[in-house]
Structure 1
Amino acid sequence: MTILHLLIIALIQGVTEFLPISSSGHLILIPNLTGLQDQGQVIDVAAHLGTLVAVVLFFWTDVRIGLAGIPRMLTGRIDTPGSKLAFLLVLATIPVVLFGLALNLTGLSDLLRNTAVIGWTMLGFGIVLYWADQTGRTEKVDTDWSVKDAVKMGLWQAVALIPGTSRSGITITAGRLLGYSRHDAAKLSMLMSIPTIFASGTLLTAEVIQTADMAAARDGAIVAVMSCISALIALSLMMRLLRSTSFTPYVIYRIFLGVVLLVIAYQ
């Protein structure tokens, strides 16, 4: 793969992973619409590793608290902010892991990777995000996160395995419907991405190790670094803007892209 191709993949993954516009959908569209070579699992894993590092760095204070609470959580003591956060993140991750395994075992994951599906999910869930953002109350902050809310957001997150849905978009939608402010709904969504990205990367690691070579490792390193940098920039800008703006600009983009994709798919 050329350096330009790798940079395009890294920038798209980094920018779209945490914005509510679907990173997986955009990555699938690259070969579908441009004719470029499909990047394959090695590059996918590298890109997600880069964004994982970015979100850990950005939310390091919360991540450190959660990591410190893991030993207490493992002994069944959910009595500190750290152990509570770790427990809720694990709880919210279970649905997406189970749904992901089901899709892979049945082969449905490959069937869903097409332009028409991405068009419909981009459009439909964009409208749902707009509705949730405009009608959702603002009565909770991230420290109010409960078992019930973690389970609900986790179930919504599982739907994001359908390409074009957007993991961040669907979990932010759930957060807004549950009464969290825009900023805190986005923060919870980003924290939920850490075990989710880690789990999906772990599932692919064995296969990647078997098929990777030195050239693939070099390409993966380039993509990981660039994805991390672009994700940090995009995440920083979005979290800052959410203190004063809504999700409407992202919704407009989703609706426009969804309509374009549907026109292309059904021509």
Structure 2
Amino acid sequence: MMGAETHINLFQAVILGMVQGLTEFIPISSTAHLKVVPVLLGWGDPGVSFSAAIQLGSIAAVIWYFWEDLTTLGISAFQALRRQKFDDKDLRVVLGIFLGTVPIVVLGLLLKFVAAEFYDNTLRSLASISIVSIVMGLLLGLAERIGSRKRNFDQLTLTDGVLMGMAEAMALIPGASRSGTTITAGLFMGLERGTAARFSFLLGIPAITLAGLVELKDLLESLGSPGSNTEILPLVGGLVSAVVFSYVAIAWLIRFLQTQNTWIFVWYRLGFGLLILGAIFAHFIPNA
């Protein structure tokens, strides 16, 4: 069973914001690290609501980083619609993001309102997170091995948006990683590494925003109530920390993938998953 959520102070919130920021856009799973790191530090589980709420900091960072791209895409797509130029490349990207967001929204609603207990007590267990991390590491390695990496951003299609959106929906399983599933899918579909990462970040904006706003609403309603594990100052501290470190991670990964492959993330995911499984079996940490 999942452990009880614990009180988060300002220092812990800033550290967790750093963890969120550094792992949201790198394909190693922010959800897994937000669950594992505080447990290893003896802080307990910060909870789904706090973790999802500070994701809004990552959204602020990705909008900040891609602001010029977003405005260009938005203006070009609107103009293409007015002129009925449905083959416009920017319109294809925008429609791809819209269609790609549908699967994660539908599956997310099902998990929240139909299978919430299964999600909290089973999928968010450390053992489950570790196994998923290992499986996704193997899939990323396979995609790196067989992907052709021939298509760039201008060659994206609506089908790419739908397929990457379906992959993104699988990231609702803790440990899978939203950027990990989408970048892996992009490599399987023959996209260049940088293109896969860039489209992954843009595709994630609606999904992470919606998830963060839903959980933030619940979290704000609970602030100050008996049994609440979060206060407003730590929440703000976590959000600011997430903005700063998310921006750093985005800028680093974009530059990294322009010249390097993804094997470092494959080996990290395998090592991370095996280490946590070993710690559970050795009773060093609970399978909470």
Q: Write the distance in 2 (CA, Å) between the matches of 1:182 and 1:71.
A: 28
Q: Write the distance in 2 (CA, Å) between the matches of 1:45 and 1:160.
A: 13
Shift of 1:84: 2.9
Once the two structures are overlaid, the 10-residue window that deviates more, 26-35 or 156-165, is 26-35
Q: Write the distance in 1 (CA, Å) between the matches of 2:55 and 2:169.
A: 17
- The normalised TM-score by structure 1 is 0.91
Kept in 2: contact 1:69–1:86 (CA 8 A): no
Aligned equivalent of 2:139, options 110, 121, 128: 128
Runs of 4+ off more than 4 Å: 69-78
Kept in 2: contact 1:46–1:221 (CA 8 A): no
1:49 maps to what in 2? 56
Once the two structures are overlaid, the 10-residue window that deviates more, 60-69 or 21-30, is 60-69
1:109 maps to what in 2? 119
Aligned equivalent of 1:98, options 98, 106, 131: 106
Q: Write the distance in 2 (CA, Å) between the matches of 1:191 and 1:247.
A: 19
| 1:249 is the counterpart of 2:264 | yes
Aligned equivalent of 1:263, options 278, 283, 286: 278
Whichever residue aligns with residue 30 of structure 2, its letter is: S
- The normalised TM-score by structure 2 is 0.85
Aligned equivalent of 2:149, options 138, 142, 147: 138
Alignment of 1:42-191 (within 5 A): 43-68=50-75, 79=86, 80-104=88-112, 105-107=114-116, 108-110=118-120, 111-191=122-202
Once the two structures are overlaid, the 10-residue window that deviates more, 150-159 or 196-205, is 196-205
1:211 maps to what in 2? 222
Structure 1 residues not aligned, in runs of 5+ = none
Aligned-pair identity in percent equals 30
Q: What SS class does the counterpart of residue 258 from structure 2 fall into?
A: coil
Query: Higher helix proportion, which one?
Result: 1
Aligned equivalent of 2:46, options 22, 34, 39: 39
1:201 maps to what in 2? 212
Structure 2 residues not aligned, in runs of 5+ = 1-7, 283-288
Q: What SS class does the counterpart of residue 38 from structure 1 fall into?
A: coil
Shift of 1:78: 6.6
Q: Write the distance in 1 (CA, Å) between the matches of 2:242 and 2:72.
A: 25
1:224 maps to what in 2? 239
Q: Write the distance in 2 (CA, Å) between the matches of 1:95 and 1:134.
A: 27
Whichever residue aligns with residue 12 of structure 1, its letter is: V
2:3 maps to what in 1? none
Q: Structure 1 residues 45, 213: closer, same or farther in 2, change over 3 A?
A: farther
RMSD: 2.3
